[in-house]
Amino acid sequence: VYSMALKGITVLELAGLAPVPFCGMILADFGAEVIRIDRVIPGVLSNDAFDRGKKSIAIDIKKGKDLLLKMIESADVLLDPFRPGLLESIGLGPDVCLSRNPRLVYARLSGFGQTGPLSKVAGHDINYLSLSGLLSRLGRKGEKPMFPHNLVSDFAGGTLLCAFGILSCLLERATSGRGQVVDASMVDGTMYFGHFIFNKLGAPLLGDKPRGENLLDGGSPFYGTYETKDGKFMAVGAIEPQFYAKMIQGLGLDAETLPAQMDRDQWPALTKLFETTFKSKTRAEWRAIFDGTDACVTPVLELDEVAREPNTKQRNLMMTQTDPAPAPLLSRTPALRLTPDRVGEVAGTSTRFILRDRFKLLTDSEIDVLASRGVVLCTDAPQSK
């Protein structure tokens, strides 16, 4: 038994789409008590990919505004997943909530931020990525820009920087005793996340050519992926000369007959040579050559292969076939693993427990009255008499 890094922190997460639930899950994994405020819809598992470690209470936040405000009075963090202005319109904006609890960290995660001409406009990861400027730099030469799933804006620029903002506010609060508002925008976060690309725009090799013609964007032959004889792929990241030399050696090529690594004019020819060479062996055969070397050549694993990978097993990186372990690993207060008691709850599973026992706000009979009026939804049983 050990203490958790975020033990004693209570988070109220208003149910929303993936970036906010993932933020709540990160906080829960590292020890925070996370209570998901679900909609009053029977049988709903709000976002089962990110619900582990959370208790669920179902409240109609319009009808049950006063109830939610009472919970906010003793919470540390409120997670707002809605478009700017929605919570203000029902009397749950930052001014109201912080007047009830001046220590509250009111975290708002949205696409375009709380201000500006796009603040109330709909969008998704690809839209935020496009407006950040980064999408224009992602993709192959001569092809349209290609987005890496919805990872960059939703989860890197959005979730992770929102979580960092929350933790920063909690740390500062220890000194000031005051909470504050976190305005986490996925566009803002994506741009910040892309600092390196902005900074290297115009830099030799890294950003002085159009998309797909630079060192790290698929333009160089030693930073990319190659198909193998069996239709699988290997990833190559042999940038430094010493790593490049080991890759050339592993490929069985004669370095003396090849053009200089950084001769940009010869990159297309080298790419074709590497393509032909990699197709001469299976992925397993290339692994036998490159595994354990400093050639920076690795297999492109399918998702269902990851759990069987030796590094994954040794570091215990998968809790189930579909649940990667929390990261990073803390030496004294590591994150919680997935256990049966941390599986996500259906909406309203803990409504009675939270109102009656956790916050001590209502009795069973009072909860029953609110349930009959559609203010709350309960799927847990009243206390036996």
DSSP state of 342: G
And the tokens for 151? 């990872």
**Total residue length of the chain:** 385
pLDDT of res. 45: 57
CA 100/CA 22 separation, integer angstroms: 27
Mind giving me the DSSP string for 59-111? E-TTTTHHHHHHHHTT-SEEEE-SPTTHHHHTT-SHHHHHHH-TT-EEEEEES
Mind giving me the DSSP string for 250-267? HHT--GGGSPPTT-GGGH
CA 111/CA 123 separation, integer angstroms: 7
- Name which of 1-5, 71-75, 133-137, 251-255 the model is least confident about: 1-5
pLDDT of res. 46: 54
Residue 383 pLDDT exceeds 80: no
Residue 357 pLDDT exceeds 90: yes
Q: 162 with 109: CB under 8 angstroms? A: yes
pTM: predicted TM-score of the whole model, two decimal places: 0.94
pLDDT of res. 384: 60
Q: Which residues are catalytic?
A: 124, 154
pLDDT of res. 257: 95
Residue 111: is it exposed, middle or buried by C-beta count within 10 angstroms (0-12/13-18/19+)? buried
- Cα–Cα separations (whole angstroms), residue 366 to 64, 67, 72, 361, 372: 13, 12, 19, 9, 10
Q: 78 with 72: CB under 8 angstroms? A: yes
pLDDT of res. 339: 77
Residue 99 pLDDT exceeds 60: yes
Mean pLDDT of the chain: 94
pLDDT of res. 314: 96
Q: 138 with 147: CB under 8 angstroms? A: yes
Report the pLDDT averaged over residues 131-137: 97
- Name which of 125-129, 154-158, 340-344 the model is least confident about: 340-344
Residue 288, H or E segment: helix 283-290
- Cα–Cα separations (whole angstroms), residue 334 to 307, 318, 337: 20, 15, 9
Residue 322 pLDDT exceeds 70: yes
